[in-house]
Chain A
Amino acid sequence: MFREGPATTASPGKASLDTRYGLLGALLIAPTVLVFCAVIVYPLISAIYLGLFSIYTPTMEGEWVGMDNYRRLLASGEFWRSLLNNVIWTVGTLALQVIFGILVALMLHRNLVFRAFARSLVLFPYFLSTVVAVLVWRWLFNDLYGVLNHLLMWAGIVDMPVDWLGTMPNAMVSLILVGAWKYFPFVVIAVLARLQSIPDELYEAASIDGAGAWGRFVDVTLPQLRDVLIVVVLLRTIWDFKEFDLIYLLTGGGPIIGTQTLPLMVYKEAFALNQMGGASAVAVLMMLIMLLFMILYLSRARD
């Protein structure tokens, strides 16, 4: 860190070059830092600050209440129920995304007629707007004219249309399935990219050792995928945990608060109940939970 005197005198040009480079580096990062401060740090600090007030959203006026918002939240069943829902949704949809993602990636890695077209079709749900995905699924789920119910009735699996989104546990199951459908291609992309870079020699060596298809998968493929999966799971956990659009548009958190996750609770507090302070407090708690998760996960993954 500290440069000793003689070294500086020995190469005066290098020192000034270092300083100049440092300045240039700072200059290049400056726009990023500015934008971060303006659109992320400032709103973040105001969220923490607002959490200490009781504020009526339309006027944005209110009074200091200290930790009252937090006390109220932690004592309310609704916060804990939303957290539980959040965990159920995240774990459920993530598990399906990863399992299904790996399987489909393995499938698409093999020789398949029209493979490029098949890949495009599979990856497409990920790039689809959430709004579009939800609309399409709501139309599929429709009670009177939805094709899904009619297929199931035609196949004799059910004899009455199923209420996919309005009752529990159907609503949570539907949500998890639609989430998995929408986001598993992300896992496919990552795994597929990694599969393509596994050297064939590894498989050949395993074959020579007498490993079958399953053995090769367990001994060669899975260990090679480990690093990718660690990052994929981290990213998807964060994104799924804070998912708003999909849940809000598909079930709105209902029935009752059966599928209400923390982001929906923030929105409800802020705009339905017009309590900006409470909303900010939920958001801050949510952030703390995610931070805790990330620290634990990263320290575990490093081992």
Chain B
Amino acid sequence: MNGLQNKGGMTRRRALQGALALSAGAAGLYPATGRPNTTLRWWSTQSSPEQLAAYRYQIAAFEAQHPGVQVLFEKTSDEGYPAQLAAAFAGGNVPNLVTHLPSFAVADYWNAGLLSPFDAVIDAVGAGRFFDGTNRVYELEPGVHAAAGIGNTAANMLWLRTDLMEKAGIERPPATWDELRAACARMQGRGVYGAQFPYAKNSATSLVIICFIHGAGGQVLSPELEVAIESPAAVNALEFYRSMREFCPPGATGYSWGESLGAFVSGAAATGLYAGRVLVNVSNRNPRLKEHITCVTFPTVSADVPAWTFNDYPSVFIPADAPDRELTRQFATWLYEGEGYIRQLHATPGHILPVLKTAAQDERYLDHELVRRYSGEIALMSTEAAAGHNLGWESPAHRINVKAGALINSGVLAEMVQRVVLNEERPRVVLADTARRIEAIMKA
């Protein structure tokens, strides 16, 4: 007993010493030495390894010009940014700069008074260097921009495997939905699925179904922003989307952008709905497909309905509460400059497309293996993206919809897809219900 207690005493003393050491260490948790005076925090949803390398280059150059300034890059994600930014705004602990969020998210935050005007940066970059109309979607009050575009993206291109098309005897790319379905059916088999659409409970599914509604000649909201989703076109879109389920991998009910892209790049799907990132991912991860991929505008229900390209208009904005605003503006301007901007574009050629005329024509931009190899595809995506739309701005006739971000985050559109496809509910009934829910969000 005595011995035991002694042992216990020893243990205790040692434990106490350890505790003291630990708390002493905790006090020195944040060493004050060698820290720069100012830290700019930069958030982005676009952060593949290639892009990170480009950002590092830009940050290093900026820090070299501004001694005592440190730029801290922090990743966020397409599915995660709404919650993270909500928490950051609510706590007043916002990043200085946020890039690559879709334009409809920007409108939502601007409407709540959370962003500071971006015109100073646009002027510093040079308003005339942007392609005409690029920043139209950010002009949320006459003459005031909430953000600027940092790139364009044609998110719903139809990617094709030319080798599989040839093998299946398909001579030209599908232009209508019926042709697309027939092509998928013919290419499906031996471990290859026809397509890779998302059918999940996430924002990717919401955004993709909007493309199909427009591809059927419908719309979610009217130009005056009245709910207009209850239409024969939307029924048609949902029915087509349901009919494509059998050509998608079983796990497509859990797919977001990443899984969809992976399915096409790995060769598991014969066609793909995605943006230009396919190019760099194929060349880095599955180079044997390099010679066999191409893209076209996404088919519509019939030749009468024009293609509707989804451009999320990746943005740059500065939160209203961000500290060091002047320095942040300088850094935002810097992101568009010379070699740095071109490196950003080269990190994912064809995915983030230039918004600056000067960069698009720059020899340095054009002189890149993938830009040369896929010049046709990239040109097509550039034209399509420039004329692109999203839920925040469904057509040139539409007013800017500041509730689009809330609509996407609420998941009503993804739930609509799942109810029709997984529960096999009648599209008409589901659409009526969805219309009511959209109405409630628009009014909230």
Measured CB to CB, the residues of A under 8 A from B are 56-60, 141-144, 160-163, 165-168, 252-257, 267-268, 270-274
B contact residues, total (Cβ < 8 Å): 33
From known contacts A59-B89, A163-B250, A166-B200, infer whether A255 and B418 are also in contact, taking CB-CB under 8 Å. Answer: yes
Interface contact B112-A58, CB-CB below 8 Å: yes
B410 within 8 A of A: yes
Question: How many Å lie between the Cα of A100 and that of B411 in the bound state?
Answer: 37
Task: Pick from A253, A267, A274: contact of B406, CB below 8 A.
Answer: A274
| Interface assignment of B423: CB less than 8 Å from any CB of chain A | yes
Kindly state whether residue B323 has any CB partner on chain A within 8 Å.
no
Task: Pick the residue among B268, B411, B419 that contacts A144 (CB under 8 A).
Answer: B268
A257–B251 touching, CB < 8 Å = no
Do the beta carbons of B199 and A166 come within 8 Å of each other? yes
Please state if A56 and B112 are interface contacts (CB–CB under 8 Å). yes
Q: What chain A residues lie within 8 Å of B200 (beta carbons)?
A: 166, 254-255
B253 near A: Cβ within 8 Å?
yes
- Binding site of A, secondary structure by majority: helix, strand, loop or mixed? loop
B315 beta carbon closer than 8 Å to chain A: no
A256-B423 in contact (CB<8A)? yes
B residues in contact with A167, CB < 8 Å = 253, 422
B258 at interface by CB-CB < 8 Å: no
Chain A residue nearest to B90 (CB atoms) is: A60
B89 in contact with A161 (CB, 8 Å): no
**A58 and B422 contact, CB distance less than 8 A:** no
B69 sits at the interface (CB 8 A):
no
Which residues of B does A touch, CB under 8 Å?
82-83, 85-87, 89-90, 109, 112-114, 199-202, 249-254, 263, 266, 268, 406, 409-411, 415, 418-419, 422-423
A255 and B250 contact, CB distance less than 8 A: no
For the complex, give the distance between the alpha carbons of A279 and B354 in Å.
41
The answer to whether A161 touches B250 (Cβ under 8 A) is yes
CA distance A142 to B415 in the complex (A): 22
In-complex Cβ contact of A255 among B109, B114, B253, B409 (8 A): B253
Instruction: Establish whether residues B422 and A274, one from each chain, have CB atoms under 8 Å apart when the complex forms.
Output: no
Q: A57-B90, A58-B90, A166-B254 are in contact. Are A144 and B83 (CB under 8 A)?
A: no
Besides A161-B251, A165-B253, 7 new A-B residue pairs in contact (Cβ under 8 A), listed by A number: A57-B89, A58-B89, A270-B86, A271-B82, A271-B87, A273-B409, A274-B406
Q: How long is the Cα–Cα vector from A59 to B112 in the complex, in angstroms? A: 7
Q: Is the CB of B422 within 8 A of A166?
A: yes
Provide the residues of chain A in CB contact with B263, threshold 8 Å: 144
B86 contact set on A, CB distance < 8 A? 57-58, 270-271, 274
| Given known A253-B201, A256-B201, A256-B418, contact A143–B250 (CB-CB < 8 A) | yes
Nearest residue, chain A, Cβ from B85? A58
Across the A-B interface, the 7 shortest Cβ-Cβ residue pairs: A166-B253, A143-B251, A254-B201, A58-B89, A271-B83, A163-B250, A143-B250
Report how far A272 CA is from B441 CA in the complex, Å: 12
In the complex, the answer to whether A58 meets B250 with C-beta atoms within 8 Å is no
Partner of B415, one of A162, A168, A257, A273: A257
Can you name 15 A-B pairs with beta carbons within 8 Å?
A57-B86, A58-B112, A59-B90, A144-B263, A144-B268, A160-B250, A161-B250, A163-B253, A166-B250, A166-B251, A252-B201, A255-B253, A270-B86, A271-B82, A273-B410
Interchain CA distance A15-B127 in the complex, whole Å: 84
Chain B residue nearest to A54 (CB atoms) is B444
